Amino acid sequence: MPKYRVQLKQGSRTIVNHIEAKSVGAVLTFYESISTMKVTEILKIEYENDTMPPVDDMLYHPLFKGIMKTDTRMAKQIIINNVKLSKNEKEIAQLCIQNLEIEGQNIDSLYSALFKTKMG
């Protein structure tokens, strides 16, 4: 049975649950029948990895921000946390071009790139 990530909201509270269900419709029916919270998002989990996460050795750039652009001048900000120290702006741009899209359009370039480095 597929697994789903469900976001529910009521007032200022937001809760995220994980559930196995027959379909997106079944998830929605279940929560609308049982909860006063509003379902605001349902995502099908296509991949999960339950192995132990790596130790936080602080050997990374804490943050990378950049603006991706398509050849039609559509742009979108990308934020990446814990970037490997071995990656530079050119490599990140190439990975964005090869693997990401903006509203179905291929990425043409990455500009306004900024690495946040650790203090101290």
Which residue, among 58, 55, 64, has the nearest Cα to 120 in the 3D structure?
58
pLDDT attached to residue 1: 85
Collapsed DSSP state (helix, strand, coil) of residue 1: coil
Find the mean pLDDT for residues 62-85: 94
Confirm if 28 and 39 have CB atoms less than 8 A apart.
Answer: yes
Tell me the three-class secondary structure of 12-65, residue by residue: CEEEEEEEECCCHHHHHHHHHHHCCCEEEEEEECCCCCCCCCCCCCCCEEEEEE
Residues 6 or more apart in contact with residue 73 via CB below 8 angstroms: none
Q: Determine the Cα–Cα distance for residues 30 and 36; give it in Å rounded to an integer.
A: 11
Count of CB atoms situated within 10 Å of the CB of 29 = 14
pLDDT at 110 over 80: yes
In the predicted structure, residue 119 carries a pLDDT above the cut 90? no
Strand pairing of 60-70 and 105-116?
antiparallel
pLDDT tens digits for range 2-58: 999 999 999 999 999 999 999 999 999 999 999 999 999 999 999 999 899 888 888
Average pLDDT over the chain reads 93
Q: What is the pLDDT of residue 120?
A: 53
Contacting residues for 24 by C-beta, under 8 A, at least 6 apart: 4, 42, 44
